[in-house]
A and B are shown apart, each in its own frame.
Chain A
């Protein structure tokens, strides 16, 4: 009797289910004319502050909404809702990242054709979110000047997957001894050609360029 195991070839992407949902979401977003931006970074890099200022600025001329992923609290959502934008919290419990199914569930009952911009703030984490497509059009990865310039080399997948890298807390650059050239070199090493912006949400420096990119990309996407 032959005891050799039988080898069966399969070839199945482990994240197939997520990717199918993400593709469907992307299709829906495009049809509805909503431009979707996700924000990813480690905890404390300034995603919520950047988003707060962004929502407030866009709110003047555009309809904006945000989904905010967090492990436990709703503090961020409450903070963002004060800008007047429509905000919904996704409490992930122990899950360290958002996936496309969570985004779809969070959007149930939303009129997608409502907002011009939808922002998705991921859970603060530089590892896990890299694997999950959320159906967004633009993925912005944030790196604060206080974190160290070698972050891109330590977490290549997340920076590699960025459509845009935003260096945040620029107002603290000097105090933190931030080496701009090294940071840009390291970003370029793992994501050649990716656009890099430098902002301070607190002082407003660089915010115009960031908002301009959002406008330009949104227009280009809906052409």
Chain B
């Protein structure tokens, strides 16, 4: 359960960035989340309002965008998107694909501010 510490980090990032962009009320925080980030989405969603309490972020919505796992297949010489299962083999030719091109994301991508 490290999601509360992550939620606190997210609140701090959102707070700092919102201040940099004027003083409109913060409505939403957008987050990109990859399957290899090691984060339980539900736990993070539950922790966010707790972390936001008493800050300028309180009341803002956390919008989580899940990104799929993308690997590079050395045989096909192409990027391949994998399904929900983290099974790092090329879905086309079954070659093992240790090179992960996308899937570790845990980043704040955007803020929605009131005008």
Is A14 an interface position by the 8 A CB rule? yes
Task: Say yes or no for B102: interface residue by CB 8 A criterion.
Answer: no
Residue from A10, A17, A157 in contact with B110 in the complex, judged by beta carbons closer than 8 Å: A10
Bound state CA distance, A157 and B33, in angstroms? 13
A193 to B1, CA, bound (A): 29
Instruction: Give the contacts of B64-115 with A (CB-CB under 8 A).
Output: 85-89, 96-98, 100, 106-115
Question: What is the interface of chain A mostly: helix, strand, loop, or mixed?
Answer: mixed
A37 at the interface (CB under 8 A from B): no
- The listed residue with most A CB atoms (<10 A of its CB), out of B9, B27, B31, is B9
Q: Residues of B at under 8 Å CB distance from A?
A: 1-2, 5-6, 9-10, 13, 17-18, 21, 24, 27-28, 31, 35-40, 85-89, 96-98, 100, 106-115
Residues of B with C-beta under 8 A to A96: 1-2
Given A130-B38, A160-B100: A10 and B13 interface contact (C-beta under 8 Å) = yes
Which residues of A does B touch, CB under 8 Å? Answer: 1-15, 17, 95-97, 99, 127-128, 130-132, 153, 156-158, 160, 188-193
B113 to chain A, nearest CB (A): 5
Docked Cα-Cα span, A6 to B23, in Å, equals: 11
Chain B nearest CB from A38 CB (Å) reads: 15
- Which residues of A lie under 8 Å from residue B108 when comparing CB positions? 10-12, 14
- 6 new A-B pairs (CB below 8 Å) besides A97-B2, A189-B87? A7-B111, A15-B9, A95-B5, A128-B2, A160-B36, A189-B88
